[in-house]
Amino acid sequence: MSILKVARIGNPILRRRAGEVPRAAIGSPELERLIEDMTETMVEYDGVGLAAPQVHEPLRLAVLQVPADDEQEEIPLMVLINPVVTPLPSEKVSGWEGCLSVPDLRGMVTRPDRVRLQALDREGKPIELEASGFHARVIQHECDHLDGVIYIDRMDDLSTLSFLPEFERYVVTDGDVECV
């Protein structure tokens, strides 16, 4: 396995809609290697999700995972191939987000609190679930990358955009801030 180079904001790959993963590629050694490398890269950089375009692969593929010892709700490793996200009737909630492609910055983003996810897993089996809260936020954040959207595009108020040290000093006062 390898740690992959993460594309940073300004790289055109982050602004393009990614292409579908062909059914024939699912389970191939090349796709399995990419999934393993993406997972290792996500863990190495303390991320909770990573989309293929972020590692210079224009594919509709993302990995998500929040460890049990993290302060956010646990999300076991999920591999999402060709995901489709549908907002469900719910309130919209604001939450802090960050991104490996926009390092050292955080911003407040308003998103639907509940979504339906349809995708294929790494074996090509269908995934269909409803997610809410932090899990829904992570799914939406990563799937946005597949459409060339970065969290700062979703910010209602750019005045919340903060460098990490200032975010930690002025926003995180009690340690319970969830952040993608």
Q: Which amino acid is at 127?
A: I
Given this model, what pLDDT does residue 143 score? 98
Question: Is 47 domain-assigned?
Answer: yes
Mean pLDDT for the chain overall: 94
Residue 74 located in a structural domain: yes
Task: Give the residues across from 78 on adjacent strands.
Answer: 64
CATH number at residue 136: 3.90.45.10
Q: What is the mean pLDDT of residues 46-61?
A: 98
Residue 133 lies in a domain: yes
Residue with tokens 């290792």: 40
Q: Which one is catalytic: 142, 166, 168, 178? A: 142
Per the domain annotation, does 78 fall within a domain? yes
Supply the pLDDT for residue 171. 87
Condensed to tens digits (0 to 9), the pLDDT of residues 55-114 reads: 999 999 999 999 877 567 789 999 999 999 999 998 999 999 999 999 999 999 999 999
Q: What's residue 176's pLDDT?
A: 57
> Does 142 qualify as catalytic in the annotation?
yes
Residues of the domain holding 134:
12-95+109-153
Rounded to the nearest angstrom, the gap between the alpha carbon of residue 79 and the centroid of all alpha carbons in its chain is 11
The pLDDT value given to residue 180: 72
- Span 120-168, pLDDT tens digits: 999 999 999 999 999 999 999 999 999 999 999 999 999 999 999 999 8
Residue 170 resides in a domain: no
71 close to 175: Cβ distance less than 8 angstroms: yes
Q: Is the pLDDT of residue 13 over 80?
A: yes
Distance CA 16, CA 18 (A): 6
Judge contact between 63 and 38, C-beta under 8 A: yes
pTM: 0.93
Residue 174 included in any domain: no
Task: For residue 178, name the pLDDT band (cuts at 50, 70, 90).
Answer: low
Kindly state whether residue 7 falls inside one of the protein's structural domains.
Answer: no
End-to-end CA distance of the chain: 24
- Quote the number of domains for the chain: 1
| Per-residue pLDDT band at 18 (split at 50, 70, 90) | very high
